[in-house]
Amino acid sequence: METSGSFGITRRKRRKRLYLYLINDEYNTFDIVIYALQNVLPSCNVLLAEQFAQIVHNVGEVNLYSGFGNDVYIKYAQLQKLGLNVDIRTK
């Protein structure tokens, strides 16, 4: 928190929401992508993972997850370790 002026007003810094994107690549198969998404993302079942894989194949990228701070960075690192091409953005 920081104080502003001589009035002692405290303001909290707003945390920015981070967005985790999956980027299309020519190396990973659908099975690898589906397996990785199921194991890393919370509440991602087979059907949702297949839909993400189809969207990223057709469009080129898909927003997988959003949150604040460490949880997005942890999922980013886990997906990168599994060989997927991912990116963190702020809108």
pLDDT tens for 26-66 read: 899 999 999 999 999 988 999 999 999 999 999 999 999 99
Structural domain tally of the chain?
A: 1
Using alpha carbons, select from 67, 85, 66, 90 the residue that is nearest to residue 28: 85
Domain range enclosing 28: 16-89
CATH code at position 70: 3.30.1390.10
Q: What is the pLDDT of residues 37-47, one digit of tens each?
A: 999 998 899 99
8 in any annotated domain: no
pLDDT at 85 over 60: yes
54 in a structural domain = yes
Per-residue confidence (pLDDT) for residue 42, from 0 to 100: 85
In a domain, 4, yes or no: no
Residue 79 lies in a domain: yes
Residue 15 has pLDDT above 70, yes or no: yes
pLDDT of 7 > 90? The answer is no
| Other CB atoms within 10 A of residue 62 CB | 18
Residue 44, domain member (yes or no): yes
1 assigned to some structural domain? no
